[in-house]
Amino acid sequence: MIVTVLGSGAAAPSATRVQAGVLVEAGAVRLLVDCGAGVVHRMATLGVDWSGLTHIALTHFHADHLSDLVTLFVAWRYGQLPPRSAPLTLFGPPGTLGVLGRLAAAFDVDVTAYGFPVTAIELPRRGTVPLGGGVTLASHPVPHTPESVAYSVSDGVHRLVVSGDTPEDEAFADWAAGCDVLLLECSLPESMAVASHLTPEGVGRMAARAHPRRLVCTHLYPPLEGADIPGLVARWWSGPVMVARDGTVLALPGND
């Protein structure tokens, strides 16, 4: 499994971080988790084969996780020759089909009928679905918005957990327990803490409960630039921690 952080930023404009997006490659699966503003062009910057995605999974409906979805579909139809013909499966929490309908109304881009076969599936907030080749996607609720979920991707050898947006939550940490990579949002410093997001210290407490093999912080707002995030996390968690950049690649050797 190869995990590429495409966008390590959040809602605030940043010179170096676009909004949320993670590419997960496992066997024939090329899954994009979230598609915030800048993610599509960042794939081009990084030389990622944006035309070859097989699956998309949305964690929730905030714009910084969703707003490049239309950009991606327009690129597939008008940004390449020939236009995309390969099928795609799009997952999201309950309410996803309504969001896609509203995007269709706003942009005249119905992603479920856009010239190639798209299967749009609302996953239960606690669900598991096979992606093919022994790769599975699982969802778990997180208390960020009413629909928000985290995702787990397993290839039979390794397990990646992507938090999406979340505050501290013991049930989510327990669900993530023992994963190989825990990609946790890390939004704001303690001095600006809000109830719907994590601080570095909160990340440390989550990791201390989940005990991932590797902990990776993403979804940074500008006030955290320059902060000693690993040092703050280490007040609670002594395991390996890194702060993602756009383009951070995590290779988990195994089935590939």
The residue among 97, 200, 88 whose CA lies nearest residue 147 is: 97
Strand, coil or helix: 21: strand
Q: Using an 8 Å Cβ cutoff, are 88 and 55 in contact?
A: yes
The correct pick among 64, 68, 122, 147 for binding Zn ion (CB under 5 A) is 64
DSSP assignment string, 53-93: --EEE-S---GGGTTTHHHHHHHHHHSSSSPP-S-EEEEES
Residues 137-176 that bind Zn ion (CB under 5 A): 165
Residue 228 is a catalytic residue: no
Nearer to Zn ion, 149 or 229 (CB): 149
The residue among 27, 18, 88, 100 whose CA lies nearest residue 53 is: 88
CB of 181 to Zn ion, least distance (A): 19
CB of 20 to Zn ion, least distance (A): 5
Q: Which stretch binds Zn ion (CB under 5 A): 8-16, 132-140, 202-210, 227-235?
A: 8-16
Q: Using an 8 Å Cβ cutoff, are 6 and 42 in contact?
A: yes
Residue 62 binds to Zn ion (criterion: CB under 5 A):
yes
CB of 67 to Zn ion, least distance (A): 11
Nearer to Zn ion, 145 or 248 (CB): 145
Catalogue the active-site residues: 64
In the complex, which residues of this chain contact Zn ion (CB under 5 A)? 10, 62, 64, 165
